[in-house]
Chains A and B, each alone.
Chain A
Amino acid sequence: MTQSDLNTVRRPIESANGLPNGHYTDPAVFAEERQAVLFDNWAGLGVAADVPTIGDAVPLTFLGMPLLMVRDRAGNVRVFQNICRHRGMILVDAPRKIEGAIRCPYHSWCYSTEGKLVSTPHVGGPGRNTADGIDRALLGLIEVRSHIWMDVVWINVSGTAASFEQANAELLARWAEFDKPLHHGGADSRFELAVNCNWKLAVENYCESYHLPWVHPGLNSYSRLEDHYHIEKAGHFSGQGTYVYRQLKGEDGKSFPDFDGLSDMWDTAAEYITVYPNVLLGVHRDHTFAIILVPEGHGRTVEHVHLYYSQPQTDPELRARNTAQWKEVFEEDIFVVEGMQRGRHAVGFDGGRFSPAMDGPTHMFHTWVATQLTRHRTPLAAE
């Protein structure tokens, strides 16, 4: 594979180009980014609300890798490779409750929800369940390093990243006021959008407010472009905020209850941040959301959207309106990200140029991706 030239991407925004076409259209570059960008960092996989009670197990495919998200008997969410240590058989092929052990459907090796191998039937011959060389202590499920924050299940597949708290210390501090129980709104507060674009285009569009007055004209009546500000933390996250968040109100004038203890700025502020690489978060005084971008190839992404509230019980009608409102906004973005994806097949496109005033958060993301790839390509130089 010919490696893409990232030198122009890493220039200052005034003279930088965006990532070259191949980063959106070339399966080989997609494979390179899978490791360097998504596996080597803390990527979003799903949400803990998907496994709400002990024993809940959900199989997931992330970048081609079969994973199993489980809530173990102690109530902790764990992520395992969804394969038996015997013959590599898929263990769980549909969401279900694990009542006792995870039994492989092939030869019935059994694992606890903590991943421990607890039985190896007939491994030493009929009726003989032990064998020399089969050390159960060494043959537990392969666990993927994981962390829960904002109800998102983050995974570091390579196991090489700094701890989640270290890697995201600045964002955890910035949003410390939202570090409290978030209550998923339930079935009416989740939806998926399948889009024909590379996952990075969804990030890039989410990061900036430049497009808002053109793509989301409905916002113009109360949220002007000048009411927004950039959020930029090089190497970690970028996004945008608004000073004029307006709460949704029901016919009775009631709104969702606020999160406790928020400072005054959140009366009207809201922030929308991409936690690199693939999680889009939004926080408001009365609700948050998480969008997990699951790449399904270089030109296809599924956006998994989840909305959260400050209380376990909220007005279902208002909740449905809130979901519909956000869904409309996110759907308005689809033609843009899909249009940019098609545009990346234009031979000779140089990655584009950025508005120094308006595209800072997007340029910051490109720079970060380029940095991850450079590190991956020259591992010794990065040490």
Chain B
Amino acid sequence: MTDLNAQMLAAHEANDLQKLVELYSLAAQSVKGVDATCFYLTHAYIFALELGDARAEALRAQLVTHGRETPDQSDLSAA
């Protein structure tokens, strides 16, 4: 996680949104507990949304599964 944190900081510094989606997705897999997982999933989802990245849909679906996103609200691709 320490290395992941460093990579995240570097990606933030470079405003590399593609990388941020990837790294926050990895972080979500590396932590335990729904709250922590959804914290990182949320970040990955938001940066994917900003990018218009297709990964947003799957990330959002995970958040919906955990009850952390509204199931009835369409994502950006259908907004």
Chain A residues close to B by CB (< 8 Å): 99-101, 103, 108, 110, 112, 114, 116, 118-119, 121-122, 126-130, 136
Chain A residues within 8 Å of B58, by CB: none
- Which residues from 36 to 71 on chain B have a C-beta closer than 8 Å to any C-beta of chain A? 36-39, 41-43, 45-46, 48-53, 56, 63, 66, 68-70
Task: Give Cα A303 to B38, complex, Å.
Answer: 50
Chain B residues within 8 Å of A129, by CB: 42, 63, 68-70
Q: Is the CB of A136 within 8 A of B70?
A: yes
Task: Give Cα A100 to B73, complex, Å.
Answer: 16
Tell whether A100 pairs with B51 under 8 Å between CB atoms, given A114-B79, A129-B69: yes
Q: Is the interface of A mostly helix, strand, loop or mixed?
A: loop
Interface centre among A99, A127, A128 (most CB of B within 10 A): A127
Residue in chain A with minimal CB distance to B54:
A100
- Contact residue among A112, A127, A130 (Cβ-Cβ distance under 8 Å from B76): A112
Instruction: List 7 tightest A-B contacts by C-beta distance, closest first.
Output: A100-B52, A127-B38, A112-B79, A127-B39, A99-B52, A101-B49, A103-B50
Is B16 at the interface (CB under 8 A from chain A)?
no
Tell whether A119 pairs with B49 under 8 Å between CB atoms, given A112-B76, A130-B68, A130-B69: yes
- Contact residue among B41, B50, B52 (Cβ-Cβ distance under 8 Å from A127): B41
Residue in chain A with minimal CB distance to B49:
A101
- CB proximity of B29 to chain A, nearest CB, Å: 14
Q: Is the CB of A110 within 8 A of B38?
A: no
Q: Is the CB of B76 within 8 A of A121?
A: no
- CB proximity of B43 to chain A, nearest CB, Å: 7
- CB proximity of B54 to chain A, nearest CB, Å: 10
Q: Is the CB of B35 within 8 A of A110?
A: no
Interface centre among A100, A112, A114 (most CB of B within 10 A): A100
